Structures are given as structure tokens and as C-alpha cells.
Structure 1
Amino acid sequence: MKKEAVARLCKQAYKQDGCLTVAELAIMLKISAVTVCKYIHEWELEHKTVLPRRGSIHDIGPTLTHKKIILHKLFIEQKSVQQTSRETYHSLQAIQRYISTFRQVMLCMQKGMSTEQIAFATGRTKRLIKEYEQIIEEYKKGNYNMKQLLGSEVHIEDDIESWTIEYAEKTEHHNN
């Protein structure tokens, strides 16, 4: 029941041009921050979407779930970058970074490079590379065609201008 309350509070704050932190949610619901994180993680996995909160809206901190959800929407569900952005409360730049890093790591793994070598070659941390390696291994276990994923085009909607204006207005409200 409190898990749904966490989700509802996040969504309501976002609709009112606000965003809540985990600490604020914990205080409001009189539960620990650890429990809030657990509820958020479970809810996001169950619903395959990201709750709007400060960490996700401003792309603060590493969260495997977001990468996993975003990459799944783009490569498996074949959703557009803009639709994925709307559904996950992430900027186009953040999504582009996920796509780029995902492809770089996948290509390096196919070349037989170690985690350390991939981190050096991509300029990313070993911890981040391990997160992408885990996602890629899950795709392999799910019998997805890795060559097809590597070569697949990510769909970008034609009406980028109206989306850009809509996104800029939303982020302007959240940054003030």
C-alpha cells in the first residue's frame, strides 16, 4: 500500500511542476529512506517505467533500473526516443548517452575486451561498464539477437520541434 503511495506522490508532485527526493518521501510517509528506495525499485520493475523524482528528472546518480528500462523501451519495444523520454522523465541527452554507451560496451564485449579495457576505451567507470555488461548478459540469456540490437536504428519522431518546446517548458518549471 505504501509502495503505491510513493508512486502516487511522485506523480502528483511532477504534475504540479515539482519533484520529490527520497528523503522527502521518507519524511512524508514516516518510513526509512531505504524502504522508499526499495518501494521505488519494486514499483519501477513491476511497471517497467520510471517514477518522476529528483534523481530521475535531473539524471542524478547511477540507477541500473533506469538504464534497463530505457534500453528495453528503445531496443525491445521499439519505442521512439521522444516517447521513451516522456515515459521515463529523462532528457534526450541522457537517453542518447545510454544508447551510445550501450552500443560501445556491446561492441567491446564482442571484441573480447575485459571490463577494465572497456572502461579505459570508453572513458567510463568500471562500475558503469559492469551495469551495462549485466544488461547485455540478460539480453543474451533472453535469446535476443545481439548483432541485430547493435545495428538497430533508434526511432526518432518527425515532430521533434514541438517535442523540444514541450520538454523545455517542463524542465524550466522543474529547474525553478
Structure 2
Amino acid sequence: MRTSAGMWVQQGSPAGSIPATLVYLPAGMLPTEQFMAWGWRVPFLFSAVLLVVALVIRSRVEESKDFVDTKQNQQIVRVPVVRVFRVAPALLFFGVLASAAGIAGAFFQRHVPDLVVEHALVGIWGAQPSLRRAAARSDEFAELEHASARQASARSTSSAVRWH
């Protein structure tokens, strides 16, 4: 039962992606200037609420009987990583392999279709679309950065005027 219960921990990240996307969605709909100025902070502020909820839950969860017994008998392992390599190398290997497969699957699902389309269109457009998109994004970012710097300069100038 304990080994089966351990698998649920791995579901936290995928399960958390859904509400994270839903929270981020309204912020992502803001105009670019507002999003860059303050909108990107909103989802992070909501995470503070989750931190408090997690701390409350953790403070009410009791330790397992096995952990309490191990701690009382002072049988806590000094370097648990070494013990994992000694006791369960096959499980460790397959766990790492499964994780790598999941990451690789997500990577290929996201990037390979774009690469295939881009390389198919190189002959038509003469340059890779990703390079053109990257250049356009860097120009947009530079414009936003300059606008933000101008706003900061205007704020500091106006606050300096108020203090004199």
C-alpha cells in the first residue's frame, strides 16, 4: 500500500498545471504593456494563498507509524541517496527512465511539428520562420523594455520633484 501511495505524489505537477493555466489565462489576456508592467505578478500572488493552505494541511498531518518508530529507534539513514542505489537500483533506473521518457515525449510533442514545418518551408521563404519570429519577438521585447525604462524614469523624476 505504501508504494502505491507514493505514486500519487507524482500526479501533483500535472494536476497543478490545470488550475495554474486557468489562473494564468485572465492575466495572459491583458494587453502586452499591462501584462509586462503588472499582470505577470498576479498568478504569483495567488500562489501565496496556496502556500498558506499547504502549511495548514501539513501542520495537521500526522507522521506515519513507521517514521515515528524509525525516529525513536534512531535508525534514520545518514545518506538516503546511497541507500536507494544499494537497495533498489532497478526501481531507481526505471523511475529515471520513465521520467526521461515523459520529458522527451513532451519535448517532441511540442517542438518536432514546428521543426518539420519550418524545414519544409525553408525553400519557400528563404529563411527559417523561427529565426524571423525570434527577431520579431526581440524587437517587441526591446520596445517594451524601452517603454518600461521611460516610465520608470518619469516616475523617479516626478517623485524627485515632489521631494524638493
TM-score interval, normalised by the smaller of the two chains: under 0.3
TM-score, length-normalised on structure 2?
Answer: 0.24
**Structure with greater helix percent:** 2
Q: Give the greater-gyration-radius structure (CA).
A: 2
